[in-house]
Amino acid sequence: MATNLSGTEQRLVDEFQRDLPLVERPFAAVAERLGIDEATVLAMLGRLLADGVISRVGAVVEPHAAGWSTLAAMAVPDWALPQIADFVSSFPEVNHNYEREHHLNLWFVVTAPSPERVRQVLATIEYRTGVPVLDLPLEEAFRLDLGFRLQWH
């Protein structure tokens, strides 16, 4: 994929995977460093996202530094999986959910302002679905840097 990117797109990915400028208009600062305008940076990012070259643009926040989260899993009967997955996704506190090939076949992340709210969401999901929810809170954080350079200098 990287070979289909323009030189400016490669620089955008290489130079701003980390340390995005913490200013009022970060994409304008990025544009200035790249020698282009802010609208072009935003358009490039939109294309890179749409093409699957990058998966997201956003901050990485230390776990529990701003709010609370947990990983949760459920053993949902196959016949009920689509409906329960949709119900789980209807909570604004649920970032995403996904099916796994395991007896615990529905996994999701809940993020909320407090541990109490996380527990309320899990309890509501369990009560409304009749399926127990396994709460798997973070015990030890590992920091993996998944960034990589497209250009080698």
Quick one: pLDDT at residue 1?
43
Kindly list the distances between the CA atom of residue 17 and the CA atoms of 30, 46, 107, 135, in Å, as whole numbers in the listed order: 11, 15, 28, 32
Rounded to two decimals, what is the model's pTM? 0.61
At 23, is the secondary structure helix, strand, or coil? Answer: coil
Paired sense of beta strands 106-112 and 68-74, if any? antiparallel
Can you give the pLDDT of all 153 residues of the chain as single tens digits? 445 888 899 888 888 787 788 899 999 999 999 999 999 999 999 999 898 888 778 766 666 667 789 999 999 999 999 999 999 999 999 988 899 999 999 999 999 999 999 999 999 999 999 999 999 987 776 665 556 666 655
